Structure 1
Amino acid sequence: MKIEEIKHPELKNHINMIYMHSENQNQDAIDKTENEIREYIKDKEFIISVEDSKPVKIPYANDGEYLVPIFTDEAEYINGMQYFSLNVMDENKEYVIEKLDNFKKLKEDPNFLGYIVNIARVSYIINISLL
């Protein structure tokens, strides 16, 4: 699959719905939408930034915890790399197009908090309970 073929408008819609449900404090709707996200990401491929064939890790807090950025389309990836360059984190970065379950070892790492969608805007964190 080519980078320009990766598009996830449905996931973006789910993310927007989570924010709306959060503002309305509707936990049942949040849970339902999270289940829809869980089902959606099972068989979809995403753009994942890598370095030396390993996913790029973004430190989160000071205790070794981290997130792995993923991108839902080419424009998001380009914006994310621009964000990385502003923070001097873009050197030697490439991308792969993979399903999230191809990085199963991440799930076993207690410091892995999940995948961050669209790091340039800090859109949404897919936590490990959804994987």
Structure 2
Amino acid sequence: MMKLEEIKHPELKNHINMIYMHGENQNQKAIEKTESDIREYIKDKYFIISIEDEKPVKIPYGNDGLYIVPIFTDEQEYIIGMQYFSLNVMDENKEYIIETLDYFKKLKEDPNFLGYIVNIARVSYIINTTLL
């Protein structure tokens, strides 16, 4: 069983930063390459996933039933993210599991599931369902 402090994903954070840079440069080819790298990277990696009653915490995205699920790439992100939840009274949740993104396979089948948001406190990046 992995511990919270063992979860670290500097490579994913680097990919996310590159996506933003490529976006500013309007380099679609580089964005697609980096998204492909992200798809490959997240395939078998473990993340911190916030849960409630053994289900992933779902955060509404707009008003039409769409939602995203927060994941965290390290302990610091998780701590700040949970503080962010309580500030916004979005959640009282303090439970987490360490799992692969494939752990909640059923989410992929839900048309309202938009993807996983990395680092909700900074709204860093949404790993959309096409990358899962």
TM-score bracket for the superposition, by shorter chain length: over 0.9
Aligned to 2:99, the other structure's residue is in SS state strand
Distance in 1, Cα, partners of 2:103 & 2:77: 21
Report deviation, 1:92.
3.8
Distance in 2, Cα, partners of 1:9 & 1:89: 27
Distance in 2, Cα, partners of 1:92 & 1:10: 28
Report deviation, 1:90.
3.3
Report deviation, 1:91.
1.7
Distance in 1, Cα, partners of 2:92 & 2:36: 36
Runs of at least 5 residues in structure 1 that lack an aligned partner in the other structure: none
Distance in 1, Cα, partners of 2:93 & 2:11: 31
Partner in structure 2 of residue 75 of structure 1: 76
Q: Calculate the TM-score normalised by the size of structure 2.
A: 0.98
Q: Which runs of 4+ in 1 moved over 4 A?
A: none
1:125–1:92 Cα change, 3 Å: closer
State the AA in 2 paired with 1:58: I
Q: How many residue pairs end up in the alignment? A: 131
Runs of at least 5 residues in structure 2 that lack an aligned partner in the other structure: none
Partner in structure 2 of residue 6 of structure 1: 7
Q: Residues 1-131 of structure 1: matches in 2 within 5 Å?
A: 1-131=2-132
State the AA in 2 paired with 1:54: K
Identity %, equivalent residues: 85
**Residues 50, 93 of structure 2: 8 Å contact kept:** no
Q: Calculate the TM-score normalised by the size of structure 1.
A: 0.98
Distance in 2, Cα, partners of 1:79 & 1:104: 27
Aligned to 1:120, the other structure's residue is in SS state helix
Report deviation, 1:87.
1.1
State the AA in 2 paired with 1:7: K
State the AA in 2 paired with 1:109: D
